[in-house]
Amino acid sequence: MTSPTKDTSRLLDLAARIALRGHGNVEPNPMVGCVVTDADGTIVSEGHHRRCGGAHAEAIALRKAGDRAAGGHLYVTLEPCHHTGRTGPCSEAIIAAGITRVIYAHRDPNEIAGGGAEHLRAAGIDVEYQSTRKTVLLNAPHEHRCRTRRPWVIVKWAQTLDGMIATASGDSKWISSERSRRLVHRERGRVDAILTGLGTVIADDPRLTPRTLRQPRRIPARVVIDDQLEISLDTQLVKTADEFKTVICCNTGKIRSDKAKSLEKAGVHLISLGEQGTIAASLATGFEAHGWSNVLVEAGGGLVGRLAGEGLVNEVITMIAPTLLGDPTGVMPFRGRTTQRISDGLTLDPVDLRVRDSEFMGWYRTPNLIKER
């Protein structure tokens, strides 16, 4: 991979920003953005993958460019595909348009879709592989899913300035601002599943549905980690299981119990935590059987600590309110580790840090997921 020039970085970053418009509509496909310039570097068109099964970003950008694409350059966040699925191969569309140079930011980890770069080179097109920090951030979820066969896991919490997500009595309404809560509901409408623990269900009796002004892009499954299948049949999650998909992950020995039969009669789906009782096993089943690409975690510190202990946390979003509780018995967002030194802690890589109204919002990835490659 060659080091990108300033103009190349700018255009790849633009393509990455454009690609994000597809978040929540394109999964399980990757988000992809494309920019077409003429030979002098003037932008003539752009495009992004808008929905799963729809036209690819390159095809949209080339269609917009028309004859202006001839002799031009194409910048795209993912290697152009070279296979025929629900759409034709992008490599052939690029050749037909007369593009002379292609710069792509990420090799496609999908063996079926890959191979476009070599096909373009064989056709006499100058092909370069370059990446920027923004394109690596964009492509990390897709690569993770292809490599692990598990969904991308996003953990979200709101906390006080002294690090509490609730008081000792469990009160947490509301730590975050109304604006932040709207952002959370928007994100709920862009993921395939919302994961929580039994403790949160008992404390809050949540519905875990997206409530937005606009029609949500997705209606996520509500997923509960409940090893011993102790959830009450009177919870909102169970009572609305016929309306919104509800999944409970429990120990294998509980799958055929009388309680399980009652839950299934109410419309609840059950997934085994596997022989080892791991959440990873449930996520793998969710990925393969239920099509979970992205999972949003809204839970207490015990489940978050358990997820981190299994190495399943990919992304963390925090909202920090300017409020102090001063009570060491309050509820922490992350539990389950015994550390004697600061160096033993889990250090996250910051992606975006900003102040929204009176709150501080931090967006982080787990280490080694945002390094340029």
**pLDDT band at 26, cuts 50/70/90?**
very high
> Looking at residue 110, what is its pLDDT?
75
Multiple choice CATH, 149-365, 3.40.430.10, 3.30.70.20, 3.30.420.10, 2.40.30.10: 3.40.430.10
- C-beta of residue 192 within 8 angstroms of C-beta of residue 356: no
> Looking at residue 370, what is its pLDDT?
44
**Which tens digits make up the pLDDT trace of 308-340?**
989 999 999 999 999 998 988 888 888 887 788
Q: Which residue has the higher pLDDT, 345 or 233?
A: 233
Question: In whole angstroms, what is the distance from residue 309 CA to residue 221 CA?
Answer: 24
Distance of CA 212 to the CA centre of its chain: 19
**Which tens digits make up the pLDDT trace of 40-69?**
889 999 999 999 989 999 999 999 999 999
**Which tens digits make up the pLDDT trace of 95-134?**
999 999 999 999 988 766 668 899 999 999 999 999 999 9
**pLDDT band at 181, cuts 50/70/90?**
confident
Looking at the chain, the whole-number percentage of residues with pLDDT higher than 70 is: 95
**Which tens digits make up the pLDDT trace of 68-92?**
999 999 999 999 998 777 777 899 9
pLDDT at 284 over 80: yes
Do 149-365 and 6-144 fall under one CATH topology? no
CATH fold of 6-144, please?
Cytidine Deaminase; domain 2 (3.40.140)
Counting Cβ atoms within 10 Å, is residue 96 exposed (0-12), middle (13-18) or buried (19+)?
Answer: exposed
Catalytic residue of the set 27, 46, 58, 315: 58
User: Which residue matches tokens 């606009």?
Assistant: 214
> Looking at residue 276, what is its pLDDT?
86
Q: Where do the domains of the chain lie?
A: 6-144, 149-365
> Looking at residue 255, what is its pLDDT?
92
pLDDT at 20 over 50: yes
* Average pLDDT score over residue span 190-195: 94
> Looking at residue 5, what is its pLDDT?
64
Looking at the chain, the whole-number percentage of residues with pLDDT higher than 90 is: 65
Q: Which residue has the higher pLDDT, 85 or 200?
A: 200
Question: Catalytic: 92?
Answer: no
Q: Which residue has the higher pLDDT, 120 or 168?
A: 120
pLDDT at 234 over 50: yes
**pLDDT band at 3, cuts 50/70/90?**
low
- For the ranges 15-19, 135-139, 276-280, the lowest mean pLDDT is seen at 276-280
> Looking at residue 108, what is its pLDDT?
84
Query: Tokens representing 144?
Result: 């993770």
Q: In what order do the strands lie in the sheet with 43-48?
A: 43-48, 33-37, 73-76, 101-104, 126-129
**pLDDT band at 368, cuts 50/70/90?**
low
Question: In whole angstroms, what is the distance from residue 245 CA to residue 238 CA?
Answer: 10
Q: Where are the alpha helices (DSSP H) in the chain?
A: 6-19, 57-65, 90-97, 116-122, 133-148, 178-188, 198-204, 236-239, 258-265, 279-290, 301-309
Q: How many CB atoms lie within 10 A of CB 9?
A: 18
pLDDT at 373 over 70: no
